[in-house]
Amino acid sequence: MKKRLTFCCWNCDREYSMTREIEDKLQMIVACPFCGKEGVVDLDPYRDNATSVYKSLDAPATPAVPTYIFPAVIPTAAPPDPPSPPMA
């Protein structure tokens, strides 16, 4: 599902919005259009854990798609440093 989201850059602290495909991943990487730095967004805190209960024997055949409840502005974090190569 595509959704327009507003992010706050971890580096320059400016807000920007973009349309992103929300999938079943727990993290996504976004790039700030102002400073060019990449940021990591953790989607797990925004996952809605509500369960649908059906009063019918004909439950939907499609698997449940996770839903999210996003705040007005989603904070980003600095990406983790890549592991350094072993020294020989």
Q: Is residue 83 part of a domain?
A: no
Whether the full predicted model's pTM is greater than 0.85, yes or no, is no
Q: Pick the residue with more confidence: 86 or 16?
A: 16
Q: Is residue 67 part of a domain?
A: yes
Q: Is residue 33 part of a domain?
A: yes
Query: What does each C-alpha distance from 76 to 18, 39, 42, 69 come to in angstroms?
Result: 13, 5, 8, 16
Q: Is residue 30 part of a domain?
A: yes
Q: Is residue 87 part of a domain?
A: no
- Integer Cα distance of 15 and 33 in angstroms: 10
Is the pLDDT score of 41 beyond 80? yes
Task: Quote the pLDDT of residue 43.
Answer: 87
Domain that holds residue 39: 2-49+63-75
Mean pLDDT of 45-62: 70
Q: Is residue 43 part of a domain?
A: yes
Task: Quote the pLDDT of residue 18.
Answer: 92
Instruction: Count how many domains the chain has.
Output: 1
